[in-house]
């Protein structure tokens, strides 16, 4: 069975508009609080096919652009303890399939982080289209997934005196994307 693309989404190449988009993550710290961060430099395309199944997504993220709002923590994240940005300067996502789901779409693809590639599935919502004052046709999407840091070789941690670890293994990734249809 094939699924038509949702009306009024137009088939074509949509470029992610980074200044109007957000690539964010959340991890538990000390088991009691959430620390949030975001990538501030990224680019990508969403190619919408005539059918949902014919669509694909590619995204590249500058690993050094990760910001949590704390300069010391951000500097630590760039080291070999975490992202090792000198050796692994980019993270990438390349979709393998797009399929309809009860709540929107599931985009299955390969996430490469810290030099390790693993399959992930993004639960994705189509948020509609709008024409902006500069005559751009925009589409909005929300997507999320959870990953294991360990699966990507991100194993640094510290034991807590009360038991448990300083940084959770699970990281939640959330995307809010605005994309512009190519002319």
Q: Which long-range contacts (CB under 8 A, 24 or more apart) does 83-87 make?
A: 83/113, 83/114, 83/154, 84/114, 84/115, 87/115
- What is the DSSP code (8-state) at residue 6? P
Compute the C-alpha angle 149/155/160, nearest 5°: 105
Is the distance from CB of 126 to CB of 105 less than 8 angstroms?
A: yes
Task: Give the pLDDT band (50/70/90) at residue 74.
Answer: very high
The dihedrals phi and psi of 52, each to the nearest 5 degrees, come to: -50, -45
* pLDDT grade for 6, boundaries at 50, 70 and 90: low
Structure tokens at 80: 């070999």
Q: Residue 78 contacts by C-beta under 8 Å, 6 or more apart in sequence?
A: 63, 64, 66, 84, 85, 86
Query: Structural domain boundaries of the chain?
Result: 12-181
Q: What gap in Å lies between CA 55 and CA 179, rounded to an integer?
A: 14
CATH fourth-level superfamily of 12-181:
Lipid/polyisoprenoid-binding, YceI-like (2.40.128.110)
How far is the C-alpha of 28 from the C-alpha of 36, rounded, in Å? 9
- End-to-end Cα spacing for the chain: 31
Average pLDDT in the 149-165 region?
86
- Mean pLDDT of the 41-47 span: 97
Q: What percent of the chain has pLDDT over 70?
A: 96
Q: What is the pTM of this model?
A: 0.90
Q: Which residue has the higher pLDDT, 165 or 162?
A: 162
Contact 49, 5 (CB under 8 A): yes
């Amino acid at each position: 069975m094939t699924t038509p693309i949702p009306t009024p989404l137009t088939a074509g190449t949509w470029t992610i508009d980074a200044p109007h988009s957000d690539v964010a993550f959340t991890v538990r710290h000390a088991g009691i609080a959430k620390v949030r961060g975001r990538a501030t430099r990224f680019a990508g395309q969403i190619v919408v096919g005539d059918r949902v199944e014919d669509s694909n997504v590619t995204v590249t993220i500058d690993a050094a652009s990760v910001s949590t709002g704390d300069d010391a923590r951000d500097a630590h994240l760039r080291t070999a303890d975490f992202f090792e940005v000198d050796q692994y300067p980019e993270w990438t996502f390349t979709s393998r399939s797009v399929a309809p789901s009860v709540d929107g779409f599931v985009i299955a693809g390969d996430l490469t982080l810290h030099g390790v590639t693993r399959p992930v599935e993004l639960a994705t919502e189509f948020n509609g289209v709008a024409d902006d004052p500069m005559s751009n046709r925009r589409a909005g999407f929300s997507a999320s997934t959870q990953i294991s840091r360990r699966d990507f070789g991100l194993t640094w941690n510290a034991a807590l005196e009360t038991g448990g670890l300083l940084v959770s293994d699970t990281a939640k990734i959330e995307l809010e994307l605005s994309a512009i249809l190519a002319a």
